[in-house]
Structure 1
């Protein structure tokens, strides 16, 4: 389109805006989407004069057609940019939760077939679940006395107690009338204290010798240290690992905390101790990984972490992958890239269900020779429609109605056995999925593919088979990949505190320790007690044959392990009590 022809279609009063637009395009490039305000609605005004500008053959002039196409493309770009602004405002000021608050208003939905029936089904199933739910127990009457945060007697007999008696001296046991004061009753006021005690564990070995043959014999074999050449004991190391990867405490704050307790340990000493623990526990990690791969379903996901090169300048981005079994065993893996060799090497010849997101790098995992079945996450679909709320609120709410039915089916099937769940889903979930499929096929033709709602609809359309594969096995409890994402929160929260991994060699031991801690959380195991026990046991010679007994799931089932943990805690309590009650010098 020539400059003369373009000037014919310039709106009145737009000369100054055109000058500013030309200068702006010179600064930002010809592809810049910045437009003047009067140009935004030009498409509608152009369409009014289209009939007047057609020639005798009824065709639109070429320059006008080009102008209309250019304006339509710019309007689409403006809509995309405005939607990005709304998304940024929502991320800054909007609610964090993806849950809906309150029922859906039918007047806000487009009138597609069956909408009233769907809303009635959702309301009916909600009423049925409320009717089947057991009645809550009656609330006990409130006591008039003051509220207490914690009852000391509820802590158990293992918690040491310190008794301090406050009595009057003999010369004070005189009444004002001259009589003697006698004890009438006692009132005990308790308070809970928590102290951190640093003590040196001296292990004294007595040696015996025979005077006849002059042979030296020790009384008992000496205990080995957890870390060779280090005097840090298993209790301190367990607390250090827990503080580092469960409470996400950086080494500089740990050094300050230990210094306040009387332990002047530098950051380098702490980091070397943590890495040594990760290397020591690697055989247990390998066993946990085998348990993950022995499951019928593995959930996978990954997240980036910053990796530094020791003391040298520069940093790169690594990846932490998570592999979680249906039974709650978790194995993290640290990689320096996101290439397919990572998940392919971890899964190996695994056969079963693999649940994840629609990352294109996962496609290599489902080669027909591997005999794996892809399961995609429905939570990702819900989030994509949540992102489209600002630009397409009605279509987003229509999907909410349909997904609410699918979610209601999963709520009812949650407590069923695998065969019952399989049959129930086949009867109730398949019809809902068919309705969702028809809705997607109809709606995706009416939206722009690059828009938020277009991306959400395309996610459902292109991944429909993988989203429906959960119907193949009743053992599948969750139609989302939220379990793997919850496990990755350990990394996501941690990197906001410790910021980076110091060097590439530290990623592997860190993944080992995070795997064991997260598996303890999933299995309901006391992580500190577990680490105390396994650090001491695996450091003993010949302990490699007992590795299968040292995983968190096996440790939880072992009565011997529970007895050892109880004895160790009792010894700690006794030491704390003796030190607390020791007379001051």
Structure 2
């Protein structure tokens, strides 16, 4: 028999309490549903981002980006020049004519500094006679060029030391001294060391691959021997690195970043634990410096140690480990607009297409793009002119962004991707706009990220450092190679020249003459040709 439902209480007060209780339960359930909906929304964002990371394009460009704040001002920013009367008169009327009038890009000529091998082609003796019976004469020549590569040549340098003696008194034998070598009593020449360094630290070829490559030339050179040579040769670079750090800290601003590194043999740490390679980029306009430093931690004490005597601006990402440096007297932190933009790109990608959140993210991305357009236009300006240009063009855009931020901050869920992007923009706003204070200051931390990229590519190949000595050696060699590249020199020619000269250095002035900005490409080429010409 079906039980009858519970009758409602007849007492009005009791009935009112029951209604209030049910309303409270309904409110709790509604809040739980809202929290679940929010949780589902956040998880959907992460799923979309993960799909894009795994299967989508890696570029941060966003298709179908939203409108800017003021469309009329946006169109005015393009600044398209009006065609002159002569250009209008000469403009072709038909699209096909326009295409034919545009010169097609030609093949780039081969570098003039490369050696040339002349291969002469002549007519046969029979073809050199004209049908009229006269002998043909050479009136000119037609030259075409092909690029040829000779595989690496492995050779042995024999240091022959003449012995001298007096036939009269026979009191002793004098032997010609051996010039100082980068690694005494080893088989490693400056050229070989330079080759191994460039192959590993620039071309990302691990030592075991180089061991196999040399074996094809019947040369047995174990990777353990190569690793020992890298450590010992890198120790020669320390005086140069000290002078480079002095130049680095003398600049008006620095870029800093860090990336992980696995070192197998570290005291009191398991082999699978993470250490870090710290990179600093700076110096002067004509003396660019890129330095790497290995540390077994990501603690904030590391940048304090590396930049203990620094005074100036410091460009970093959002890692709070740099906060202690920013609290030092004379140091002001800058924040990276590329990092801020990246968070809004992720927020847009995490949302369904044409959603309100996507449109909001695109609005910020477009405004940041306008800031970068101004930087491209002012790239060749003097620092004073760039400062004035930013005051006139960048500050109004930043004011619009600040107004947008204040308006939307309370309207967006803080736990979503767009909320995280807005919170990042708001938190680091003073650091983000500080670049407008000085025309020398950069807008982002891309130079540091670009400096880290060669290390990351190499790490994908050689995977780890076996010891702390090896990690320090890698930091030293990466520092020298990347600084050499930043100053427009060819790394192999520089390393070969420096490794030959360093064992003979006797003063600070000698070291200064070996710094990358103290040498020219022509000097290095002449040094290499002299070495090759002097070998019999």
Above 0.5 in TM-score?
yes
CA distance in 2, matches of 1:528, 1:268: 22
Given the alignment of the two structures, is residue 315 of structure 1 paired with residue 272 of structure 2, yes or no? Answer: yes
The equivalent of 1:388 in structure 2 is 347
The equivalent of 1:121 in structure 2 is 73
Q: Which runs of 4+ in 1 moved over 6 A?
A: 53-60, 129-132, 164-168, 182-190
The equivalent of 1:346 in structure 2 is 306
Summarize deviations over 1:53-87 as a string: whole Å, max 9, x none.
99798886222222112111111111111100000
Structure 1 residues 451 and 218: CA distance shift in structure 2, 3 A:
same
Match of residue 409, structure 1, among 365, 370, 374: 374
Given the alignment of the two structures, is residue 549 of structure 1 paired with residue 506 of structure 2, yes or no? Answer: no
Structure 1 residues 61 and 187: CA distance shift in structure 2, 3 A:
closer
The equivalent of 1:426 in structure 2 is 391
> Per-residue deviation at 1:101?
5.4
Match of residue 296, structure 1, among 236, 252, 261: 252
Given the alignment of the two structures, is residue 472 of structure 1 paired with residue 437 of structure 2, yes or no? Answer: yes
Structure 1 residues 59 and 487: CA distance shift in structure 2, 3 A:
same
TM-score, length basis structure 1: 0.76
Match of residue 336, structure 2, among 365, 377, 381: 377
Q: Tell me if structure 2 keeps the 8 A contact 1:377–1:480.
A: yes
Structure 1 residues 126 and 500: CA distance shift in structure 2, 3 A:
same
TM alignment of 1:414-493, pairs within 5 A: 414-476=379-441, 478-493=442-457
CA distance in 2, matches of 1:75, 1:162: 76
Q: Tell me if structure 1 keeps the 8 A contact 2:66–2:362.
A: no
SS in 2 for 1:539: helix
Given the alignment of the two structures, is residue 79 of structure 1 paired with residue 41 of structure 2, yes or no? Answer: yes
The equivalent of 1:46 in structure 2 is none
TM alignment of 1:3-18, pairs within 5 A: none
Structure 1 residues 565 and 101: CA distance shift in structure 2, 3 A:
same
Given the alignment of the two structures, is residue 361 of structure 1 paired with residue 321 of structure 2, yes or no? Answer: yes
CA distance in 2, matches of 1:525, 1:350: 27
Q: Which has the higher contact order (CA 8 A, sep 6+)?
A: 2
Q: Which runs of 5 or more residues in structure 1 are unaligned?
A: 1-52, 110-114, 144-148, 175-179, 579-585
> Per-residue deviation at 1:564?
5.0
Number of residues paired by the alignment?
489
The equivalent of 1:48 in structure 2 is none
CA distance in 2, matches of 1:240, 1:211: 46
Given the alignment of the two structures, is residue 68 of structure 1 paired with residue 30 of structure 2, yes or no? Answer: yes
> Per-residue deviation at 1:121?
2.2
Q: CA RMSD for the aligned pairs?
A: 3.4
Structure 1 residues 417 and 165: CA distance shift in structure 2, 3 A:
closer
Summarize deviations over 1:338-384 as a string: whole Å, max 9, x none.
012211111012110000011111111111x4220110000011000
> Per-residue deviation at 1:126?
2.0
CA distance in 2, matches of 1:400, 1:361: 27
Match of residue 513, structure 1, among 477, 482, 488: 477
The equivalent of 1:16 in structure 2 is none
CA distance in 2, matches of 1:404, 1:165: 57
The equivalent of 1:529 in structure 2 is 493
> Per-residue deviation at 1:414?
2.0
Summarize deviations over 1:9-68 as a string: whole Å, max 9, x none.
xxxxxxxxxxxxxxxxxxxxxxxxxxxxxxxxxxxxxxxxxxxx9979888622222211
> Per-residue deviation at 1:159?
1.6
> Per-residue deviation at 1:95?
2.1
CA distance in 1, matches of 2:495, 2:33: 65
Q: Tell me if structure 2 keeps the 8 A contact 1:422–1:472.
A: yes
CA distance in 2, matches of 1:209, 1:156: 50
Summarize deviations over 1:428-448 as a string: whole Å, max 9, x none.
222211111111011010111
Summarize deviations over 1:411-460 as a string: whole Å, max 9, x none.
33222111111122122222211111111011010111111000100111
The equivalent of 1:223 in structure 2 is 179
Structure 1 residues 141 and 260: CA distance shift in structure 2, 3 A:
same
CA distance in 2, matches of 1:157, 1:326: 30
TM alignment of 1:555-566, pairs within 5 A: 555-556=519-520, 562-566=522-526
Given the alignment of the two structures, is residue 539 of structure 1 paired with residue 503 of structure 2, yes or no? Answer: yes
Q: Tell me if structure 2 keeps the 8 A contact 1:122–1:408.
A: no
Structure 1 residues 541 and 351: CA distance shift in structure 2, 3 A:
closer
Structure 1 residues 130 and 407: CA distance shift in structure 2, 3 A:
farther
TM alignment of 1:205-354, pairs within 5 A: 205-211=161-167, 214=170, 218=174, 221-309=177-265, 314-325=271-282, 327=284, 328-354=288-314
The equivalent of 2:153 in structure 1 is 197
Q: Tell me if structure 1 keeps the 8 A contact 2:250–2:283.
A: no
CA distance in 1, matches of 2:123, 2:234: 54
Q: Tell me if structure 2 keeps the 8 A contact 1:258–1:264.
A: yes
Structure 1 residues 227 and 544: CA distance shift in structure 2, 3 A:
farther
Summarize deviations over 1:173-199 as a string: whole Å, max 9, x none.
99xxxxx9x998799886523221111
> Per-residue deviation at 1:522?
1.3
Q: Tell me if structure 2 keeps the 8 A contact 1:533–1:565.
A: no
TM alignment of 1:4-43, pairs within 5 A: none
CA distance in 2, matches of 1:398, 1:55: 50
SS in 1 for 2:263: strand
